[in-house]
């Protein structure tokens, strides 16, 4: 396996970010890997290639992949509606959401408002909840006034994924976290995968005028745990590569693992007049055809996944900061890897 150290370190050093890690996939295998910098900005503790990084909303496609398995198993249908699957909260949510389908939730077509709209009272309630209260969280989310008619347009919503996770829990009797282990992490041997800030190794950071401030692992080092289906996964890059390879196989092989080829096609295809599929932003602007990608951040970490099915290649990049410098360093890393490995 090739080392990416010499490609990554100049980018990290110029951006002055704590750590930077990346991986390259080719023909369904990991061919290059690297991690440079520090686990914590305040210590001389070098990051390791086997350290875990938080990938934020890059995990949305994982939630969609889990739900796709429940659809294939007959526990859900792409047309399963909120009020049908969650009858206990029907009377307490807005009627406009009753017929919203799980497909609309996963493609951000539910009509729920944008996540960056200030709703501190909603967020405060979610902080007080445990992962076993996801149904109550869904109820709070579905009490918000719709920003659009369901199915009308794409509006990015973390809340929609929380509702989808609650629907998966309702038909299985298990938490989303347990379902992720059962349906995804264990079958793909993603042994490092877990939830929230990693308990050891790399720490996330907040940017300040004096530099980067390490954030100790705790429930407050991530978004509220109840938001899990929208993106609270952490894992090593080699394990993330196992997941990326699954979707590369799903996009290129006739008999992929875990799901039918047609189901992968469903996951990778946006609705008409949209570029957002189920956990994937889909574009065709680059020179090698269609690209499936997503970025993720919890404001203390930043990560990007990019798959190029026509080339049967993929790129993974992660850092333990999330300010403009970290985002720009990630973009530069993607461009450098693209130029060296994809073109």
Task: State the CATH number of the domain containing residue 313.
Answer: 3.40.710.10
Judgement on whether residues 219 and 325 belong to the same structural domain of the protein: yes
Judgement on whether residues 154 and 299 belong to the same structural domain of the protein: no
Question: How, if at all, do strands 233-236 and 52-54 pair?
Answer: antiparallel
Whether 225 maps to a domain, the answer reads yes
- Helices 158-172 and 134-141, axial angle in degrees (round to 10): 140
Judgement on whether residues 132 and 83 belong to the same structural domain of the protein: yes
Tell me which residues of the chain have a pLDDT lower than 50. Answer: 117-118
Total structural domains in the chain?
2
Judgement on whether residues 326 and 199 belong to the same structural domain of the protein: yes
At residue 116, the pLDDT reads 54
Whether 36 maps to a domain, the answer reads yes
Judgement on whether residues 256 and 334 belong to the same structural domain of the protein: yes
Based on its alpha-carbon atoms, the radius of gyration of the chain, rounded to whole angstroms, reads 19
At residue 80, the pLDDT reads 98
At residue 286, the pLDDT reads 67
Judgement on whether residues 224 and 315 belong to the same structural domain of the protein: yes
Instruction: Dump pLDDT digits (tens) for 68-127.
Output: 999 999 999 999 999 999 999 999 999 999 999 999 999 999 999 987 544 666 777 888
At residue 118, the pLDDT reads 44
Whether 184 maps to a domain, the answer reads no
CB 184 within 8 A of CB 190: yes
Q: What is the Cα–Cα distance from 73 to 196, expressed in whole angstroms?
A: 28
Whether 183 maps to a domain, the answer reads no
Whether 19 maps to a domain, the answer reads yes
Last residue of a domain, one of 143, 178, 213: 178
Closest C-alpha to 237, from 38, 30, 45: 30
Model pTM?
0.97
Judgement on whether residues 220 and 320 belong to the same structural domain of the protein: yes
At residue 220, the pLDDT reads 87
Judgement on whether residues 273 and 168 belong to the same structural domain of the protein: no
At residue 66, the pLDDT reads 98
Q: What is the Cα–Cα distance from 240 to 219, expressed in whole angstroms?
A: 22
Q: Which two tokens stand for residue 221?
A: 């080092």
Whether 187 maps to a domain, the answer reads no
Q: What is the SS3 assignment for the chain?
A: CEECHHHHHHHHHHHCCCEEEEEEEECCCEEEEEEEEECCCCCCCECCCCCEEECHHHHHHHHHHHHHHHHHCCCCCCCCEHHHHCHHHHHHCCHHHCCCEHHHHHCCCCCCCCCCCCCHHHHHHHHCCCHHHHHHHHHHHCCCCCCCCCCCCCCCCHHHHHHHHHHHHHHHCCCHHHHHHHHHHCCCCCCCCEECCCCCCCCEEEEECCEEEEECCCHHHCCCHHHHHHHCEEEEHHHHHHHHHHHHHHHHCCCCCCCCHHHHHHHHCCCCCCCECCCCEEECCCCCCCEEEEEEECCCCEEEEEEEHHHCEEEEEEECCCCHHHHHHHHHHHHHHHHHHHC
Q: Provide the domain limits for residue 161.
A: 62-178
At residue 208, the pLDDT reads 92
Instruction: Dump pLDDT digits (tens) for 10-47.
Output: 999 999 999 999 999 999 999 999 999 999 999 999 99
Judgement on whether residues 302 and 207 belong to the same structural domain of the protein: yes
Whether 200 maps to a domain, the answer reads yes
The dihedral region occupied by 189, where left means phi > 0, alpha psi between -120 and 50, and beta the remainder, is: left
Whether 185 maps to a domain, the answer reads no
Last residue of a domain, one of 138, 155, 178: 178
The answer for residues whose C-beta is within 8 angstroms of residue 223's C-beta and 6 or more apart is 230, 231, 232, 298
Q: Beta-carbon neighbour count of residue 117 at 10 Å?
A: 11
Judgement on whether residues 196 and 138 belong to the same structural domain of the protein: no
Judgement on whether residues 15 and 86 belong to the same structural domain of the protein: no
Judgement on whether residues 220 and 278 belong to the same structural domain of the protein: yes
CB 40 within 8 A of CB 59: no
Q: What is the Cα–Cα distance from 320 to 27, expressed in whole angstroms?
A: 28
Last residue of a domain, one of 178, 201, 229: 178
């Amino acid at each position: 396996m090739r080392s990416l150290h010499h490609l990554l370190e100049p980018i990290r050093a110029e951006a002055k970010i704590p750590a930077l890690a990346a991986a390259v996939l080719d023909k369904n295998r990991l061919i290059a890997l690297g991690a440079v910098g520090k686990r914590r900005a305040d210590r001389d503790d070098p990051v390791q290639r086997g350290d875990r990084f938080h990938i934020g909303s890059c995990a949305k496609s994982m939630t969609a992949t889990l739900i796709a398995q429940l659809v294939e198993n007959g526990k859900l249908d792409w047309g399963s509606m909120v009020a049908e699957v969650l009858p206990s909260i029907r009377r307490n949510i807005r009627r406009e959401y009753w017929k919203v389908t799980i497909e609309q939730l996963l493609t951000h077509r539910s009509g729920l408002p944008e996540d960056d709209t200030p709703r501190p009272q909603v967020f405060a309630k979610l902080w007080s909840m445990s992962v076993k209260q996801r149904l109550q969280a869904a109820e709070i989310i579905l009490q918000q006034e719709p920003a659009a008619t369901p199915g009308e347009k794409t509006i990015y919503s973390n809340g929609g994924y929380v509702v989808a996770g609650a629907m998966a829990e309702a038909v299985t009797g298990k938490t989303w976290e347990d379902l992720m282990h059962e349906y995804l992490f264990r079958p793909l041997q993603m042994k490092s995968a877990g939830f929230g800030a990693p308990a050891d190794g790399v720490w996330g950071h907040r940017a300040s005028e004096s530099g980067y401030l390490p954030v100790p692992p705790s429930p407050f080092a991530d978004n509220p745990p109840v938001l899990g289906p929208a993106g609270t996964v952490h894992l090593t890059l080699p394990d993330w590569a196992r997941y990326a390879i699954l979707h590369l196989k799903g996009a290129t092989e006739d008999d992929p693992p875990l799901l039918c080829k047609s189901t992968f096609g469903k996951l990778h295809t946006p609705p008409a007049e949209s570029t957002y599929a189920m956990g994937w932003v889909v574009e065709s602007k680059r020179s090698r055809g269609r690209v499936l990608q997503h970025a993720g951040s919890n404001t203390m970490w930043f990560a990007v996944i990019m798959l190029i099915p026509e080339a049967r290649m993929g790129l993974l990049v992660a850092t333990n900061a999330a300010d403009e410098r970290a985002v720009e360093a990630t973009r530069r890393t993607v461009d450098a890897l693209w130029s060296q490995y994809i073109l």
